[in-house]
Amino acid sequence: MENQPFARRKFFEWGIGIIAGLIGMASSIPLVGSLLSPLFKKSVEKWVDIGLVMLLKGSRYQKVDYEFLYQDGWIKANKKRSVYVTHLGGEDFIVFSRTCTHLGCNVRWSDKRQQFLCPCHGGVYDAEGKVIEGPPPKPLTHLQTKIESGILYVRES
Ligand code: FES
């Protein structure tokens, strides 16, 4: 009987502690969520301007370099890319990524051989980007394109 007030006081102390803890956790959820949310966002695909259509018309495996802002999670950086642009006629262009599908070296177009050559391990691609020699497992990537207001855009992810 003498321990009852003590036990009741302990019970209330524990109860208040648990309630305060729950309130603290609940109020921190938005903060934790906003800190972690970039981790769960997929990188945003974007259209990048690679040049005026009137300047690229008639191009044949023309090397074009460009830069764009890349964001993935907390990482924000300028990325440099390089592609080969070929005008197929009218509003149609084909844009080849220069990234070798083996280990990512930059391929170069050879006018003499009419092939893309990779300097790293001897990968060779034909004029359409198909692998004809060496270790690359896949053809060169063709970037998706669109034309708006006289500008050629490629889709970057
Ligand atoms: S990186 Fe191109 S062949 Fe290996």
Residue 9 has pLDDT above 70, yes or no: yes
* Shared-domain flag, residues 101 and 24: no
Query: Nearest Cα to 48, choosing from 144, 153, 149, 147?
Result: 153
Is 105 a pocket residue for ligand 1 (Cβ < 6 Å)? yes
Q: How far is the CA of 121 from the centre of ligand 1 (A)?
A: 5
138 CA to middle of ligand 1, Å? 11
Q: What is the pLDDT of residue 7?
A: 76
Q: Are residues 145 and 83 in the same domain?
A: yes
The SS3 assignment for 130 reads: coil
Q: Tokens for 110?
A: 């050879």
Spacing, Cα 81 to ligand 1 middle (Å): 17
Question: What's the gap in Å between 133 CA and the centre of ligand 1?
Answer: 11
Of residues 39 and 55, the one with the higher pLDDT is 55
The predicted structure's pLDDT at residue 121: 97
> How many folded domains does the chain comprise?
2
> When comparing pLDDT for 109 and 21, which is higher?
109
- pLDDT at 15 exceeding the cut of 80: yes
pLDDT at 49 over 90: yes
Q: Which of residues 54 and 25 earns the better pLDDT score?
A: 54
Query: Is pLDDT at 1 greater than 60 in this prediction?
Result: no
Q: Are residues 56 and 131 in the same domain?
A: yes
Same domain, 129 and 62: yes
2, 8, 139 from 12: Cα distances, Å? 17, 6, 70
Range of the domain at 35: 1-40
Rg from Cα positions in the chain: 29
Check pocket membership of 151 for ligand 1, CB cut-off 6 A. Answer: no
Q: Is 135 in the pocket of ligand 1 (CB under 6 A)?
A: yes
Contact 65, 106 (CB under 8 A): no
* Residue closest to 110 by CA, chosen among 61, 59, 66: 61
User: Is the CB–ligand 1 distance for residue 121 below 6 Å?
Assistant: yes
Examine the pLDDT at 43 and tell me if it is beyond 70: no
State if residue 102 touches ligand 1 by the CB under 6 angstroms criterion.
yes
State the CATH number of the domain containing residue 61: 2.102.10.10
Is 134's C-beta closer than 6 angstroms to any atom of ligand 1?
yes
Residue range 58-83, pLDDT digits in tens: 999 999 999 998 887 788 889 999 99
* Residue 76 identity (one-letter amino acid): K
23 and 70 belong to one structural domain? no
Ligand 1 within 6 A of 108 CB?
Answer: no
Say yes or no: 67 and 130 in one domain: yes
> Where do we find the tokens 């003590």?
6
Position 44 pLDDT exceeds 70: no
Say whether pLDDT at 2 is over 90. no
Q: Taking the complete model, does pTM exceed 0.75, yes or no?
A: no
- CA-based torsion, 7, 8, 13, 17: positive or negative: positive
Q: 68 and 32 in one domain?
A: no
